[in-house]
Structure 1
Amino acid sequence: MAAAKRLNREQIVARLRDAEKLQGQGASTSQVCKKLGVSEQTFCRWRTK
């Protein structure tokens, strides 16, 4: 079983900025999560922090 990949705060912030750009271009949350390689639950948890 593969270990979970952990990202540091700077990497998470960078991915959230990328997500904002994609959503600004009209991408849905599910499309953004697929592009970032994370689940919707993880994406929402990142945004709340």
Structure 2
Amino acid sequence: MRGRADRMAVEVRRDPATRAGAYGRIGEQLGVHPEALRTWFQQAELDRPPR
């Protein structure tokens, strides 16, 4: 589920128009608290290899 949530967050956050409230909307869709999503996304960002 973390992988799916991460992919969804990356996709939604690319567009400035949908960036605000992205974690809340994704959390509602997946049944996960927005703060958990924020933590997962931050950890995924740290785990990604540098570009």
TM-score by length of structure 2 reads 0.50
Residue 29 (structure 2) aligns with: 35
Match of 1:15 in 2: 5
Q: 1:40 to 1:32 in 2, by over 3 A?
A: same
- Structural RMSD (CA): 2.1
Write out the 4+ residue segments of structure 1 that deviate beyond 6 Å after TM superposition: none
Q: Which runs of 5+ in 2 are unaligned?
A: 44-51
Distance, in Å, in 2 between the alignment partners of 1:21 and 1:37 is 18
How many corresponding residue pairs? 39
Where does the alignment leave 5 or more consecutive residues of structure 1 unmatched?
A: 1-10
More helix by share: 2
| TM-score of the aligned structures, taking structure 1 as reference length | 0.51
